[in-house]
A = this chain, B = another copy of it.
Amino acid sequence: MRDELNGISVSIRDLSLGYGAVRVLSDLNLDVRQGEFLVLLGASGCGKSTLLNCIAGLQPATEGQVFIGGWNVTWAEPSERGIGMVFQSYALYPQMTVEGNLSFGLKNARVPRDEIRRRVARAAETLQLEPLLKRKPAALSGGQRQRVAIGRALVRDVDVFLFDEPLSNLDAKLRAELRVELKRLHQNLGNTMIYVTHDQIEAMTLADRIAIMRGGAIQQLATPDDIYRRPANLYVAGFIGSPPMNLLPGRLEAGRFTGPLTADVAGYDFAAPPRDGKVVLGIRPEHVRTGPAAEALPIRAQVDVEVVEPMGADTLVWARLGQTPFRVRMDGEDRVRVGDRLAIGCDPVSLSLFDAATEARL
């Protein structure tokens, strides 16, 4: 077993958890590599927090086991697992100063005073908390509070950091900043980090690998790039990307797709030899080219513009391809008006094809 876990920091084996009759996690397996930044991404209620709590030992699993650093910690107390955890709501102890918050765990573990002071100072430095050490959480801004919460995990010198939507309570601007800080922190520390979010931007930007969850099971575990370019199934395809992929139902026959548009999919990288049948064709709005650039591409069609959303850097066009809604992302500089007919084109290389029945990628 130990060998098997070489290079694996957190390993989850056949984990199941239910509340009464409701199954929240079912037979879940997951290996997180040493030093990896793994993001658990999924819609609300899919069991992300539950999984994280199981890893932390805050919720006993119904079945299955959890290994951290090669040890079976399934029945260990949270404080004995070598993990640190950061919560969405900060969960700072309001009556203690920042310093008190940072040192509470160490005091509980009866770490010597000197050592505590040293570690708090180091964490405060890393997170630029020095000037705040004597303040109480109420006197901190949201971003500062979140940094203290991270510091609380930091002082404990743990191998694995668990984050449960740590940035959801912050406004968009701060969220972007802290995201970058977190990424930098990971680059510096090199710890294993498991990070729960339902924000795809966070997932895409932070993760080494993303695990997409749905209904207590993992749908796809891969690098952000893979997930974006090669979604494993229709769910992932529809979940990732904003606006999401255009999904066109149709039939595949002898390498030709017939649906709202017809397309020769020669050049598409099939996972297995293609079989004819009902399929769904996925085209990301940003892989659609318009105007002159479109004409050179093998797949072409005409769409009618219904709504135009200028978003600054780029413009989102909500159009109709025959009867099917179709979204196109264009450069912010390009001008298009409601009612225009737009010539579009795209490259089979950037397409996705799914089996309509199994929903899996072809």
Is the pair B313, A286 in contact by a Cβ cutoff of 8 Å?
Answer: yes
Is the pair A204, B329 in contact by a Cβ cutoff of 8 Å?
Answer: no
Is the pair B332, A243 in contact by a Cβ cutoff of 8 Å?
Answer: no
The smallest C-beta distance from A280 to any residue of chain B, in angstroms, reads 18
Is the pair B183, A312 in contact by a Cβ cutoff of 8 Å?
Answer: no
Query: Interface code A239-279, partner B: CB below 8 Å = 1, 0 otherwise?
Result: 01111100000000000000000000000000000000000
Chain B CB within 8 A of A13 CB: no
Is the pair B205, A310 in contact by a Cβ cutoff of 8 Å?
Answer: yes
Interface segment out of the listed A17-25, A74-82, A116-124, A170-178: A170-178
Query: Interface code A171-215, partner B: CB below 8 Å = 1, 0 otherwise?
Result: 111001001100110010000000000011100111000000000
Specify which of B205, B228, B316 is in contact with A309 (CB 8 Å cutoff): B205
Is the pair A228, B312 in contact by a Cβ cutoff of 8 Å?
Answer: yes
**Interfacial chain B residues near A172, Cβ < 8 Å:** 199, 242
The smallest C-beta distance from A234 to any residue of chain B, in angstroms, reads 15
Is the pair B240, A183 in contact by a Cβ cutoff of 8 Å?
Answer: no
The smallest C-beta distance from A170 to any residue of chain B, in angstroms, reads 12
Within 8 A of B (CB), among A307-325: 307, 309-314, 316, 318
**Interfacial chain B residues near A204, Cβ < 8 Å:** 309-312
Cα(A244)–Cα(B171), bound, Å? 14
**Interfacial chain B residues near A201, Cβ < 8 Å:** 311
Residues of A within 8 A of B (CB-CB), count: 40
Chain B CB within 8 A of A224 CB: yes
Is the pair A284, B310 in contact by a Cβ cutoff of 8 Å?
Answer: no
Chain B CB within 8 A of A27 CB: no
Cα(A171)–Cα(B240), bound, Å? 14
Is the pair A313, B176 in contact by a Cβ cutoff of 8 Å?
Answer: no
Chain B CB within 8 A of A306 CB: yes
Is the pair B243, A316 in contact by a Cβ cutoff of 8 Å?
Answer: no
Query: Interface code A324-349, partner B: CB below 8 Å = 1, 0 otherwise?
Result: 00000100100000100000000000
* A206, A306, A313, A338 interface centre (most CB from chain B within 10 Å): A313
Is the pair B318, A180 in contact by a Cβ cutoff of 8 Å?
Answer: yes
Is the pair A176, B243 in contact by a Cβ cutoff of 8 Å?
Answer: yes
Cα(A286)–Cα(B313), bound, Å? 6
Is the pair A338, B187 in contact by a Cβ cutoff of 8 Å?
Answer: yes
- A sample of 12 inter-chain contacts (CB < 8 A) reads A44-B171, A173-B244, A176-B243, A180-B309, A187-B338, A204-B310, A204-B312, A224-B312, A228-B310, A284-B313, A286-B312, A313-B329
Q: Given A224-B312, A228-B310, 20 other A-B contacts at CB below 8 A?
A: A173-B242, A176-B242, A176-B243, A180-B318, A183-B307, A184-B306, A184-B307, A187-B307, A200-B312, A204-B309, A206-B309, A224-B310, A228-B332, A240-B312, A241-B312, A241-B313, A284-B313, A286-B314, A286-B332, A313-B329
A residues near B (Cβ < 8 Å) are: 44, 171-173, 176, 179-180, 183-184, 187, 199-201, 204-206, 224-225, 228, 240-244, 284-286, 306-307, 309-314, 316, 318, 329, 332, 338
CB-based closest 10 A-B pairs: A205-B309, A286-B313, A228-B312, A183-B307, A180-B307, A204-B311, A180-B318, A204-B312, A201-B311, A224-B310
